[in-house]
Structure 1
Amino acid sequence: MKIKLVFIFLILCSGFNLGAQTRNDSLTLSFKPYSSFRGHFSLFNGELEIQQNASRIGFEIALSKENSTFFAGSELSLNMFRGDQQFNLDASTSGGFIDIDSYQVNQVFGTRLGYLGVKFKRGGTIMVGKQWSVYYDVTGYTDKFNVFGGGGTATYTSGTDGGTTGTGRADQAITYRNQFGKLHLGLQLQAENANNNHIIDGYGISGQLELIKGLKIGGTYYRVLIQDTLRKNTIGFDKNPEYMAFGINYVNNKWDLGLVYSDQSNGDLRRNYIGNDIAAIVFDASGIEFYSKYTFQEFSIIAGFNQYKPKILNLPLSNGFKTDYYILGFEYKPLKHAYFYSEFRINSNNNRDHLGEKSVNVYTAGLRIDLERSFNRIIMTSK
């Protein structure tokens, strides 16, 4: 099915024609294909490995008239290289939470996004399907590194894309977004599982306020409703997961600065052996992520850090479990749609996984090509 979608994507790219002048009795059909090809080599643990880095292809098609636009979109991950390691958290296409759904792992194509929607001129935008969450409206302030990042905001929980938890690319979500002056509002519901003992599976809200041009602050809250029997039979899982985040973002023609603080309860997990059996262990945590980028001519310098502190009292996880690392990098952009990048993850002495093992420093250097084009055609309607 996914291969067929790729063929359709290529046919539409090659066969779409531009239209004529707009009239009152006409519809505007637009088609926007896009792609991002990313790959690098990584140096870590004394080894060198070629890795893909969240490459993707996608499109959005829309039909507009007067004050409304109906649209649909799809985005597929593209696994270009067969590397064993993956450092970019955004690249995951695994779903689930307690039971991790990993059937798309290492496949050539995987689902990243798929949605339908309608946008009204003053009434806001409604979207249905797999889409970026309202939680990400705020945590996305800092999720802009080429390779690393996203580890301090509880966006990509338990090695997934944040689909089931509704914090990343939310599964089976309904969202409403609108702007009232300088206030941006987002609402979200999830309806994933008909066998759950809840009418809905999650709900949340985000709000962003633009203080001055380029400067905004935001806050978000999201709650997931997990099946009661599953929650009661999982270690550390005493209540339904809740996520909160607050952030600030400033962007101009030279600077891009972002800072996000997050706090989650019962919202993340790791797996460890209990006797001879491996079990999922749910925990609370708080985190902080900082991103900065300064651009001058073709060059950009990137710096930031991620910190994520689990609360593991009386849980079978290492007492030293903590995410704590710094990121340094640069970009060189000789062409409008292509650039070289390099990032270095520098771990502090406190950066240890849930088993107490120290994480290694990682150096990456790679290439990224971004392509995007919009096509428009006027369709005449009968009176």
Structure 2
Amino acid sequence: MNKKIIALAVAAAAFGTQASAVELYNQDGSTFSIGGHVSVSAKGNMGDVAINNDKGITTGYSDGSSTDIIANSPRINFTATQDLGNGFTADARGEWALNYLDGGANAFTTRLGYIGVTHETFGRAVAGTQWSPYYDIAGIADMPIAFANDFLYDNHGALGTGRAENMVSYRNDIQLGDNLSIFGGLGIQDSQTGFDSRGQVSLGANFADFMVGYSYNAGDRTDGLTTKEEAVSHALSAKYGSYGNGLYVAAVYTMNEYMHGTSNYNTGSNTGEVLSDSDGIEFIAAYAFANSLNLSINYEAVEGNDKSVVDGTVYSQMAFQAEYNITPTFVTFAGYQLDLGNDQNEKENDMWNIGVRYYL
């Protein structure tokens, strides 16, 4: 694991990937910091909204557009690091989602909780709820604040496509030259209700500003099914650049069996049926100017290849978005998402989102 990667790994553990945290303690090889962000935005739909019964079956539609004040995935985290000597560094993180708008009883819900150990040569091992090796490959288009990569979050905790629960993982990066490195990761998840134990492997290469990667994710599933089936996903991805720094282009393509349902998180559609065969597509192109204005366009679709559920488009959408850093920690954002249609007899529903985010 080269020095650049180990530095990034420890920094991500200590401060997060989008903004620095507040370091409260740093002495004798130990640090402790607090980070996260809070957001408030207005989010609205421009069409009719699906009405679902208690089984998730669409029974009708409400009339007209609507606007809600939402929090856009706020979180708070606490991170500690410790120099163990001989090149080893340990870190521990707890992160919780915040519910601060509606006064709900679940003010805090767990997002992350893990312990990791990193070494420049031997790599990084992590145990707990964490971002998975699969997400290292498939999450490269999941960048904008307002709209991005819904299909990764379909049962992502149990399937290990996003924040994987009960996971032990290992990652390493091998530098082959000044501009070339290869990286890989392994992950194993314990069984959960409706999901047997799962495994995943990721492999990729960085060359200058380019990255290409592949990940395989598999394990048996009964959740949402009448029989036990193996839920499998193959993810391919490629990117150029760094999001928020000049030109950034990324694309993700996934081939799946029993991984996704007929859901669209932005429209509220959820029939509760699992697709035996589906493909996911995500593409983003962004350009950040020197004044920090970041403009982007992204496209996402899930295609079903299951004649008994959906043989065609589950959903497809395109978003135009802008983000602007007033200061390094205070960001304004706006996005408009076009619903490009589906083959589920769901009405199209364009959406918009505008707000502010403050990074701790």
TM-score by length of 1: 0.74
Cα 1:196–1:257 change in 2 (3 A) is closer
Counterpart CA distance in 1 for 2:322 and 2:214 is 29
Task: Pick one of 187, 195, 205 that aligns with 1:209.
Answer: 205
Task: Pick one of 37, 54, 59 that aligns with 2:78.
Answer: 59
Do 2:158 and 2:195's aligned partners in 1 also have CA atoms closer than 8 Å?
A: no
Structure 2, unpaired ranges of 5+? 1-20, 48-64, 176-180, 264-269
1:331 aligns with 2:311: no
Do 2:174 and 2:183's aligned partners in 1 also have CA atoms closer than 8 Å?
A: yes
3-state SS of paired residue (2:136):
helix
3-state SS of paired residue (1:164):
helix
1:245 matched to which residue of 2? Answer: 235
Structure 1 stretches (4+) deviating beyond 6 angstroms?
195-198
Shift of 1:131: 0.4
Cα 1:304–1:266 change in 2 (3 A) is same
Q: Give the alignment of 1:30-69 within 5 angstroms.
A: 30-44=31-45, 45=47, 46-64=65-83, 65-69=85-89
1:155 matched to which residue of 2? Answer: 152
3-state SS of paired residue (2:236):
strand
Counterpart CA distance in 2 for 1:147 and 1:269 is 22
Shift of 1:66: 3.4
2:100 matched to which residue of 1? Answer: 80
Shift of 1:270: 4.5
Do 1:38 and 1:368's aligned partners in 2 also have CA atoms closer than 8 Å?
A: yes
2:61 matched to which residue of 1? Answer: none
Task: Pick one of 225, 239, 248 that aligns with 1:234.
Answer: 225
1:321-374, CA deviations, whole angstroms, 9 ceiling, x for partnerless residues? 5211111011122211111100100111x236x5x2123101111001112xxx
Aligned residues: 306
Structure 1, unpaired ranges of 5+? 1-12, 20-26, 84-104, 272-277, 372-383
Cα 1:265–1:30 change in 2 (3 A) is same
1:187 matched to which residue of 2? Answer: 186
Shift of 1:156: 1.1
The alignment's C-alpha RMSD in Å is: 2.6
1:295-331, CA deviations, whole angstroms, 9 ceiling, x for partnerless residues? 111311111110110122123x5x5652111110111
3-state SS of paired residue (1:140):
helix
Cα 1:223–1:14 change in 2 (3 A) is closer
Identify, as 1 or 2, the structure richer in strand: 2
Shift of 1:16: 4.0
Do 2:335 and 2:353's aligned partners in 1 also have CA atoms closer than 8 Å?
A: yes
Counterpart CA distance in 2 for 1:328 and 1:31 is 38
Larger radius of gyration: 1
1:367 aligns with 2:356: yes
Seq. identity, %: 23
1:134 matched to which residue of 2? Answer: 133
Counterpart CA distance in 1 for 2:271 and 2:205 is 42
Counterpart CA distance in 2 for 1:113 and 1:14 is 18
Which of structures 1 and 2 has the larger relative contact order (alpha carbons within 8 angstroms, sep 6+)? 1
Shift of 1:18: 4.3
Counterpart CA distance in 2 for 1:264 and 1:351 is 18
TM-score by length of 2: 0.78
